[in-house]
Amino acid sequence: MERWVEETLHDGFRVRLKADKVLFDSKTEHQQLIIFENEEFGRVMMLDGVVQFSTKDEFVYHEMMAHVPLFAHGKAKKVLIVGGGDGGVLREALRHESVESATLCEIDRSVIDLCREHFPDVSAGAYDDPRTNVVIDDGTKFVAETEKRFEVILVDSTDPIGPGAVLFTKAFYAGCKRALEPGGILVTQNGLPFLQGPELKESAGYFRELFTDAFAYVATTPSYFGGSMSYGWASDDTTLRHHPLEEIERRYEAAGKFPTRYWRPEMQAAAFALPAYIRELVEA
């Protein structure tokens, strides 16, 4: 008998994926998690009825979340990833040899364990890198209490439902600012502006209250159904998202020009060229 798994994130919009083979389907300590095979998207993970990633297109999200801020900063040594238990953002961040330590704060240990078992190519050894430090904790609590400081913070969260809801609050963003080095960068997963515009608008408003530079950039991941994905951007250094192409190319060259499948120096600038309707949300 065929099984179809429905994404339930949006009230007026539904997408179903055929589960050719279910590998895991159970409730962890924090959320409902299912892993299954799909002919078009490969191996897929969903949390609480929302697609988190698929093996055929995960590179888009993970590359854009990591490389845009890391190449913008140019000399980040300490990186914090909040969420991201699949290890994809961690994998990409560690491709930067300048990164001396990467702390991953994940609330659900089961996500890490299951992804290491069922998606070993996504983390691709990143969890075994000596620069990696894994903390199992609530991200809001961690940024509010840690004595460590980071040049770049990447919030690879679920959508604002379940355990991920607190990662879209002003209190959490204020904690991130507290944990940033001066001139550091905060990048957040901020949903699909076409369907989740209020989410991006609210986060951008909080960024403006807390940081000198508040904006967003976008990329399109096929398994995130409903248009471009937005990444929130916040920093007190107003120059970091305005580097000329030549500077990004120079930094990429210095980093060893490691192979990528979506990010490239031209995409660094292009990602910040927002469609009018998204820019209106960010600047409202």
Where are the chain's structural domains? 4-54, 58-283
pLDDT in tens, the chain (284 residues): 899 999 988 888 899 999 999 999 998 888 899 999 999 999 999 999 999 999 999 999 999 999 999 999 999 999 999 999 999 999 999 999 999 999 999 999 999 999 999 999 999 999 999 999 999 999 999 999 999 999 999 999 988 776 678 889 999 999 999 999 999 999 999 999 999 999 999 999 999 999 999 999 999 999 999 999 999 999 999 999 999 999 999 999 999 999 999 999 999 989 999 999 999 999 98
**CATH code of domain 4-54:** 2.30.140.10
* CATH top class, domain 58-283: alpha beta
Catalytic residues: 156
User: Closest Cα to residue 215, out of 72, 47, 1, 96?
Assistant: 72
